[in-house]
Amino acid sequence: MTVPLVTVFGSLHYDIMVDAPDRPRKGETVTGHAWQPKCGGKGGNQAVSAARAGVRAAMIGAVGDDDFGSALLANLDRAGVDRRFVRVAAGVGSGMSVAIFDSDGDYGAVIVSGSNLALGDDDIAAAGEVVAQTAVLLLQNEVPEAANVAAARAVKASGGRVVLNAAPARTLSAELIALTDIVIVNAIEAEFLAGVPVVDTLEGATEAARRLVDAYPSAIVTAGGEGVAYCDRAGTAFALAAIPVKVVSTHGAGDEFVGAFAAELARGHQIEAAIAAANAAAALLVATPEGERGAL
């Protein structure tokens, strides 16, 4: 049987990760004790996660003609991601970020989008052979919305499904919402999209998912260390508790969940089984030290 294809249309960032006792407040300088580079971006992370889950994974994106861009392409190669349609954009710097981790493993980050903002219709057209084979398309909010709409429209026309990880939170067009089959958000993003306060608990995530299906056919709301909730317009609703692990770092956990979920969905697994597999993948990731995570 042909291995299903998950295509990720989205961001690639070269991350600088800093370990410190805490994240600085406004005007404060904190002395850190270590730093390391890492290849990321929500799109890149999700593509690597899908490949790790055993499906074919393709990336459509853009990097700059610089050292960061070369490193990002090499990382996709190591992970086994098809990156033939990652464009090298001349005269634009690659996307990058700085993430500061505190002693509890939580983090805050600043991103500079760079080449990711150069994505558009031409990138979708160039990747026609991949689009035509796509079982599941993954989108995020780190590239222009018009480009996301073009990608979603092309994949839907070829019979694929569209999963939108609506992060970071921003106002979405009616067209993109209409093209989305499943939206995945955390509590903060769910609160923004639903327009009501969301408590970061399983109960809060479940209520948020119920509210989101007013706009989306299906909604998944993650609640960090509490677990994840699902709801759809057919009336199916359930919540899964997080798997207890010793947390080393939460960085990339959401992307690991999304990529693993898309892989299981592309294989034809039922929603609850796909979410359970993604839940397990995210738990394994947060319990694994950054230096032992491979391509991610």
Q: Which residues are catalytic?
A: 255
HEC sequence for the chain:
CCCCEEEEECCCEEEEEEECCCCCCCCCCCCCCEEEEEEECHHHHHHHHHHHCCCEEEEEEEEECCHHHHHHHHHHHHHCCEEEEEEEECCCCCEEEEEEECCCCCEEEEEECHHHHHCCHHHHHHCHHHHHHEEEEEEECCCCHHHHHHHHHHHHHCCCEEEEECCCCCCCCHHHHHHCCEEEEEHHHHHHHHCCCCCCCHHHHHHHHHHHCCCCCEEEEECHHHEEEEEECCCCEEEEECCCCCCCCCCCHHHHHHHHHHHHHHCCCCHHHHHHHHHHHHHHHHCCCHHHCCCC
Instruction: Count CB atoms within 10 A of the CB of residue 24.
Output: 12
List, in sequence order, every residue forming a beta bridge with 139; answer none if it has no partner: 9, 164
Residues 6+ apart with CB under 8 A from 237: 206, 209, 210, 229, 230, 231
Half-sphere exposure of 179 (CA within 13 A, CB side): 27
Please, what is the end-to-end C-alpha distance for the chain in angstroms? Answer: 28
